Amino acid sequence: MAAYYATGARVQRKPVDSCGCYFLSPPMLTHSRAALVRAVAACAGCREAQALHSLAWKLGLASDVVLATALLIRYAKRGLLATAQRLFDEMPRRDVVACNAILAALGSAGGRAAGARALFERMADRTPATWNAMVTCYCRADDLGSARLVFEASLRAGSSSVVSWNAMINGYCKAGRMDAARDLFDLMGRTLPDVVTWNTIMAGYLHRGEPATVIAMFHRLVHIHQQQQQHEEEHKLRPTTVTMATVVTACTQVGDSALGRQIHLQIRQQGTRVDAVLSNALMDMYFKCGSADCALDIFRTMPCRPNLFCWNTVIAGLGMNGRGEDAVTAFRDMVEGGRKHEVKPDAVTFVALLSACSHSGLVAAGRKLFADMLPVHGVPPQTEHYGCVVDLLCRAGRVDEAARLVRAMPGRPNAKLLGSLLLLDARAPERQEDGVRLSEWAARRISEMDLGDGAAYGLSNVYASLQRWERVEEHRKGVRAAAGHGKGTRRKQPGRARYDLASSCAN
């Protein structure tokens, strides 16, 4: 295990007592402790952390606060909150940093706010990190009222920093309360916000579906930074990798590929560090504006190894550019990937891959990949995967096979899947006999469903295409009823069905 070698401790020497503990001279022990802390902070998986943990025991360093805190953070980051908590409970003495670390762990575990608050109250000396961890804890627990109270108390206690403001603003952004986030941002004035504040609020607008606001703020940020350079002030508003990833994504969403390319140029000119996330945002931008080769250039010259997101973007991007064979090849590269470099696919990978097969008519390949999902790749097929395969089979005219698949699938097919089955089936004129029967079957399943969501709009269009007017009326009534009881959240607008049967059957 590589992490062992990183410690520099010669632990291969003979154990000196019956417990299997090793004896090291004091200078050697100091050296080993520092090396262990570094190794723990750098290690990737929890297997490594466990190995280093037992090594710490054997070296008699188990009660070392700094080492235990480093391990606690590793476990928490791997989602092993119980292990982290046990480590904390078993510490012979705890300092502020250890307490702050467990507070942060409780927060990232999804708002264990009550436990965090109890510890927070018991803490005699609190640092800004203590207050901020508590604010974040409440934000993650969706208790913004309590978060705000703690935030304001930290201001009064004189134990706040720009990080406190950023944590609170981020809480509002994640809750979609951009008005409250913007109020706080404006309260900060001209000098307090740093680049993270800007990144946070820009990401908030992006998340709320306001990419144009993100782009406007980016221009303002660049302008302020240029002014700072002219006046030789401190450059704390220099756009970062994160800024660039956010604004590139905004360009993709508004479809402004000219600005996207210009920002790509700025990134290269200014020497912005390019990591996996920024590469991914750029690739996605190029794929979506039809420049698949530019996207692949970025992929090939990435300064780091592609992660799951990057592979998914490449597979989806090749698919949407009509390059299904290349998408399948990319998938092979992903899962084979050379020793230790493979990336495990997830559910998103297979939606991208199967739709790529569907768009390029790769029936045999798609069917095989679908069949391999669980047994070979360990990804259980979900309704959307069945939808992709139904699409694939229907387009290739294999309607019977599609019908068998839907009938055999676990769980209930959703309206979207049934709709595409119904539509694509009825579309194949040479299969009129089977087609009518299958359409009837799908229509019956649909009529049994609760159509309280946007699916009803699409389906009423499908029915209209099929000229089954009585069913159109039935479903439009259903849509009106659903609209009346809606909670006023995002609702899909009625639009055209994806496949217009009426026009394709006109002659």
Chain contacts with DNA (rule: CB under 7 A): 37-38, 41, 65-66, 69-70, 73, 95-98, 100-101, 104, 107-108, 127-130, 132-133, 136, 161-164, 166-167, 170, 194-197, 199-200, 203, 206-207, 240-243, 245-246, 249, 252, 275-278, 280-281, 284, 307-310, 312-313, 316, 319-320, 347-348, 351-352, 355, 384
Q: What tokens appear for 406 in the block? A: 């839907």
Tell me whether residue 392 or residue 472 sits nearer to DNA (CB atom). 392
How far apart CA 30 and CA 43 sit, in angstroms, is 20
Task: Count CB atoms within 10 A of the CB of residue 124.
Answer: 5
Give least dist CB 108 to DNA, A.
7
Give least dist CB 465 to DNA, A.
18
Tell me whether residue 75 or residue 472 sits nearer to DNA (CB atom). 75
How far apart CA 222 and CA 228 sit, in angstroms, is 10
Give least dist CB 131 to DNA, A.
7
Tell me whether residue 32 or residue 69 sits nearer to DNA (CB atom). 69
Q: Which residue matches tokens 């006999």?
A: 433
Give least dist CB 483 to DNA, A.
23
Tell me whether residue 292 or residue 472 sits nearer to DNA (CB atom). 292
In whole angstroms, how far apart are CA 324 and each of 361, 370, 410? 8, 15, 28
Tell me whether residue 207 or residue 431 sits nearer to DNA (CB atom). 207
Whether 169 and 181 have beta carbons less than 8 Å apart is answered as yes
Whether 53 and 71 have beta carbons less than 8 Å apart is answered as yes
Tell me whether residue 314 or residue 443 sits nearer to DNA (CB atom). 314
Tell me whether residue 394 or residue 472 sits nearer to DNA (CB atom). 394
Tell me whether residue 251 or residue 472 sits nearer to DNA (CB atom). 251
Tell me whether residue 133 or residue 472 sits nearer to DNA (CB atom). 133
Give least dist CB 467 to DNA, A.
25
Amino acid occupying residue 305 = R
* Secondary structure class of 493 (helix, strand, coil): coil
Give least dist CB 158 to DNA, A.
13
In whole angstroms, how far apart are CA 90 and each of 51, 103, 291? 18, 16, 56
CA 137 to chain CA centroid, Å, is 20
How far apart CA 324 and CA 51 sit, in angstroms, is 43
Give least dist CB 247 to DNA, A.
10
Give least dist CB 349 to DNA, A.
7
| Sequence-separated (6 or more) residues with CB below 8 Å from residue 170 | 139, 200, 204
Tell me whether residue 238 or residue 431 sits nearer to DNA (CB atom). 238
SS (H, E, C) 257-274: HHHHHHHHHHHHHHCCCC
| Sequence-separated (6 or more) residues with CB below 8 Å from residue 12 | none
Give least dist CB 1 to DNA, A.
20
Whether 279 and 241 have beta carbons less than 8 Å apart is answered as no
Whether 240 and 199 have beta carbons less than 8 Å apart is answered as yes
In whole angstroms, how far apart are CA 355 and each of 339, 379, 417? 28, 16, 13
The string of DSSP letters for 277-321 reads HHHHHHHHHHHHTT-HHHHHHHHHT-SS---HHHHHHHHHHHHHT
Whether 140 and 146 have beta carbons less than 8 Å apart is answered as no
Give least dist CB 323 to DNA, A.
12
